[in-house]
Structure 1
Amino acid sequence: MKVKKKTLLLLVPLEFGFNKVFANNAEMDGFDVYEIAGDIFGNFKYSSTFQKLTNTFRKIFLKDKDYKKKIKRQYYIDKLHNKFENSPSKTFDFALIIRPDLWDKDIVNVITDLAKRSVCYQWDGLMRYPLFLDYIKYFDDVYVFDRSDLSCHPKLKFSTNFWFNYLDRTIKPVAPNNRVLYVGTFQKNRVVEMQLFFSFLRKSQIDYDAFLYFDNKEDAKSYKDCRTFNILTHRLNYEEMVKLERDYSIILDFQNTLHSGLSFRHFEGLALERKIITNNKSVRNYDFYHANNTFILDEFNWNEIVEFIQLPFVKSNSNIEKKYSFSNWIRYVLDIKPYQEMG
């Protein structure tokens, strides 16, 4: 007897093509995925001049401030129904939204109402994006990647990031070469530290490549003559970045000072058997941490990096790798047993 697939409504930021890698891995894991591209909603528009005048009349003369909310909600519902008109059911088993604070609350509410169980995940710090707290009420379960954020609300649960194990089929490790790679987006609060560190690598004759993407072209002009890193003319999507990582032995990770959660770099290193150099001290608290594999930067120990590079990589056991895979992560956050708890 054929087992019916669980249906999954999926809303993930388009940035770096994350929406596609989430959908691809979820499909590999047996879900019937209905991916919602965030841009399908567009800006709300009245369906007619009459509808707009009706709203004005009701607001002024009837003191009805909810009419626009109702038609706006119906607008989003219609958009979703048009998107998934071939769906076998109007109710989905799960809704999973990453960074719900990026979207209108009405959009989020409509999506969660269409699912039997709704879950969201915040992969950035709440100190950086506190608006996220206003969205908690729409979900059955709410996960954050920074343990220190758990105190912000009693409903919050912890989960780490993970590695996308569907990529395993096409991306294979290469021979170690002691080269260091950094790929990131320009952020003013960490660029000075980066430049100092890149200069140190160069003086220490450690081979490295650093690529930085600038959202603001004016900022990029200020660094056009910079010799410590290369300016990317376009964003690499996630798959491109992971493919690039396989050509290096060491991945460099600079923590955003507004959170202590682990970036995806740590889990890519785990999967690809690559060393990590990071300034995120919280990595010591994870069960996959090994001093041979992860070097934790501080202001006094840079001279120890050369010795670290020469250490042999210590492979984690397969159970640890499975624990931090997307396949385990999605079962964990959706509470589909069996799974290993993340973190």
Structure 2
Amino acid sequence: MEIRYEMERIGHDVISIKSYENRNFFFKIISRIQWLNTLIVNLLIQKKIRKIKRQVDHVFMIRGVYYNSTTLDSLKKQWPNAEFVLYLWDSLKKSNYRINIKKYFDRIYSFDQKDCNKFNFLYLPMYYNPQFEVNEENKTIKYDLIFIGSEKRDRYFVLKKIQEDARRNNLSINIFLRFSYLGFFRKKVFGGKKYRMIKRNDFQFRNISLDEVVQKYQSSRCIIDIENDLQSGLTPRTYEVIALGKKIITTNSDIKNTSFYNKNNVLVIDRKNPKIEPEFINSTKVMYDKKDLYSLEKWLKEIFNHE
């Protein structure tokens, strides 16, 4: 939703079409059944498209992994003169596109440099939400390390190793690892031997507001980032850290290829054997240069002012 608000703020007239208006428990169950989820998403989108009578200059889609050829053909028919732009904030390795998406779009951007090199997409890193543009730093530090995110793949086990290493080094750590009750049950019962030992107390079963995320990050020295091991692009958390002027500890070695990489601010760790260096935590951080390059406003202008 912040994308729409920012587009309107900088002068665009926006029509927003969501796959689901309200992802309630029923739709979360359906989303586990891929063919049924795809069918419902496309029927809903096609219904919404038919209700729109205005012409538009751009059709901007994010991911669009569930949209079938019928839906995309409907969009092209509805707005034949519009420029079609797609942004991928998941790697193709992680996504499951069943159609040739390239033929439907005039431009395709991706946050994943490897996908850009392989499929000739345009590379565009992700952005930070404007709420992370905080002018004053919180002087009250409660934690040396913090992680906020959802449980995906091996994150739980990587965080457990980080937590153990932090305690050995007398470093305080706060972990907010969000999980759904259904997801916890599935992992616990059907996830195999290694998941039988997971504990309910290790997870949070509630959403966290963006304001609370900002507040928790501000009260911590370093922010932990554990990327999905199926993709190489940098996560939004990376750019949130830049906006806040904090240090980051990440498992994503691709961060070393960025213009903002500085060993005083960024520590790359091995997800299989993560080691936290206390001297990194306590060292003086360096200010990030030109952090506005990763703002949402800059991101949108790059997309819509493309030449």
Aligned AA (2:178)? Y
2:64 counterpart (80, 100, 121): 100
CA distance in 2, matches of 1:134, 1:108: 11
Aligned residue pairs: how many?
Answer: 277
**In the alignment, which residue of structure 2 is the partner of 1:68?**
none
Please state if 1:331 is matched with 2:301: yes
CA distance in 1, matches of 2:69, 2:21: 15
**In the alignment, which residue of structure 1 is the partner of 2:219?**
247
**In the alignment, which residue of structure 2 is the partner of 1:27?**
8
CA 1:286/1:334 → structure 2, altered by over 3 Å: closer, same or farther? Answer: same
Aligned AA (1:23)? R
What secondary structure, in the 3-state scheme, does the structure 1 residue paired with 2:82 have?
Answer: strand
**In the alignment, which residue of structure 2 is the partner of 1:51?**
none
Give the superposition deviation at 1:244.
3.2
CA 1:129/1:265 → structure 2, altered by over 3 Å: closer, same or farther? Answer: same
CA 1:224/1:135 → structure 2, altered by over 3 Å: closer, same or farther? Answer: same
For residues 1-343 of structure 1, the aligned pairs below 5 Å read 20-39=1-20, 76=45, 78-82=47-51, 84=52, 90-112=54-76, 113-114=78-79, 116-131=82-97, 134-154=100-120, 156-165=121-130, 167=131, 173-175=137-139, 177=141, 179-215=144-180, 216-218=183-185, 219=187, 222=196, 225=199, 230-238=202-210, 240-298=212-270, 302=275, 305-317=277-289, 320-336=290-306
**In the alignment, which residue of structure 1 is the partner of 2:26?**
none
CA 1:260/1:24 → structure 2, altered by over 3 Å: closer, same or farther? Answer: same
Listed as ranges, the gaps of 5+ residues in structure 2 are: 24-41, 190-195
CA distance in 2, matches of 1:132, 1:162: 28
Q: Deviations over 1:306-332 (max 9, x none)?
A: 000111121123xx2121111111111
CA 1:79/1:198 → structure 2, altered by over 3 Å: closer, same or farther? Answer: same
CA 1:258/1:76 → structure 2, altered by over 3 Å: closer, same or farther? Answer: closer
CA distance in 2, matches of 1:259, 1:234: 26
CA 1:21/1:75 → structure 2, altered by over 3 Å: closer, same or farther? Answer: closer
**Identical-pair percentage:** 21
CA distance in 1, matches of 2:134, 2:285: 22
| Structure 1 vs Structure 2 CA RMSD | 3.1
CA distance in 1, matches of 2:98, 2:244: 32
Give the superposition deviation at 1:150.
2.2
Aligned AA (1:292)? N
CA distance in 2, matches of 1:197, 1:190: 10
Kept in 2, the 8 Å contact 1:172–1:272? The answer is: no
CA 1:102/1:238 → structure 2, altered by over 3 Å: closer, same or farther? Answer: farther
Kept in 2, the 8 Å contact 1:100–1:135? The answer is: no
CA distance in 1, matches of 2:268, 2:135: 27
Give the superposition deviation at 1:132.
7.1
Q: Deviations over 1:206-237 (max 9, x none)?
A: 1111111224131368466377xx41112335
CA 1:297/1:138 → structure 2, altered by over 3 Å: closer, same or farther? Answer: same
Give the superposition deviation at 1:196.
1.1
Kept in 2, the 8 Å contact 1:101–1:131? The answer is: yes
CA distance in 1, matches of 2:188, 2:221: 28
CA distance in 1, matches of 2:269, 2:221: 17
Q: Normalised by the size of structure 2, how large is the TM-score?
A: 0.78
Q: Deviations over 1:10-36 (max 9, x none)?
A: xxxxxxxxxx12212222222222111
What secondary structure, in the 3-state scheme, does the structure 1 residue paired with 2:177 have?
Answer: strand
Kept in 2, the 8 Å contact 1:25–1:164? The answer is: no
CA distance in 2, matches of 1:217, 1:35: 33
Kept in 1, the 8 Å contact 2:59–2:83? The answer is: yes
Aligned AA (2:158)? E
Listed as ranges, the gaps of 5+ residues in structure 1 are: 1-19, 43-72, 338-343
Larger radius of gyration: 1
Give the superposition deviation at 1:168.
5.2
